Amino acid sequence: MSASTVIFYIIASVIIGGGILAVTSRKIFRAAVFLLFSLIGIASLYFYLNYEFLAAVQIVVYVGGIVVLIIFSIFLTHASGDEMKKPVLWRAVFSALAAAFATALTLLYINEHNFTATANATVAPTVKNIGLQMLSTTQHGYILPFEVVSMLLLAALIGCIVIAIKIKTKE
């Protein structure tokens, strides 16, 4: 067993263990911290696959943005330290059964399917290549989704302000 394999299994156990604890922990703040571990594990998986740009984006957006947002909203809506209600037993059992059977079925198909890789020359996922293709207007450029997503972010920004604003009622 080479060192690379060992590192992969450590990363995989961090991702899956963090994920399972994040959906089963009864203290909501702990669940958020376990989610943080899982997301950091995914970023390190991107590092492991040599996608450094994507790993950086994952850390900046998820770990630095979304998890902090979730923790803020936990502090705004919960008294710290109280436990959540246990899920109803039959619902937990049937959800676990559904998830287990679906996992088994998907893993069966992954084992049976024969993946064939392309034989073309590889393109390195460097920041230069990513930037050139993302902002190119030629046939395989991604300028249109880039602009659309920027409009989406603007709309989400304004929408959040409109939804969460506190309207003062005249007494």
Partner 1 sequence: MNEIGLSEILVVSTVLFFTGVYGFLTRKNMITMLMAIELILNSVNINFVAFNKFLYADKLDGLFFTVFIITIAAAEAAVAIAIIIHLYRKLKSIDVDDADIMKF
Residue 43 exposure: Cα atoms within 13 Å on the Cβ side:
17
Q: Is 131 in the site for partner 1 (CB under 8 A)?
A: no
Contact of 48 with 15, CB cutoff 8 Å? no
Candidates 79, 81, 111, 139; binder of partner 1 (CB under 8 A) is: 111
Q: Is 135 in the site for partner 1 (CB under 8 A)?
A: no
Q: How far, in Å, CA of 40 to CA of 18, rounded?
A: 10
How deeply is 29 buried, as exposed, middle or buried, from its count of CB atoms within 10 A (0-12, 13-18, 19+)? middle
Tell me, residue by residue from 139 to 158, as one string, x for binding to partner 1 by CB under 8 A and - for no binding. Answer: -x-x--x---x--xx--xx-
List the interface residues with partner 1, window 45-104 (CB under 8 A): 45-46, 49-51, 53-54, 57-58, 61-62, 65-66, 69-70, 73-74, 76-77, 84-85, 87, 91-92, 95-96, 98-100, 102-103
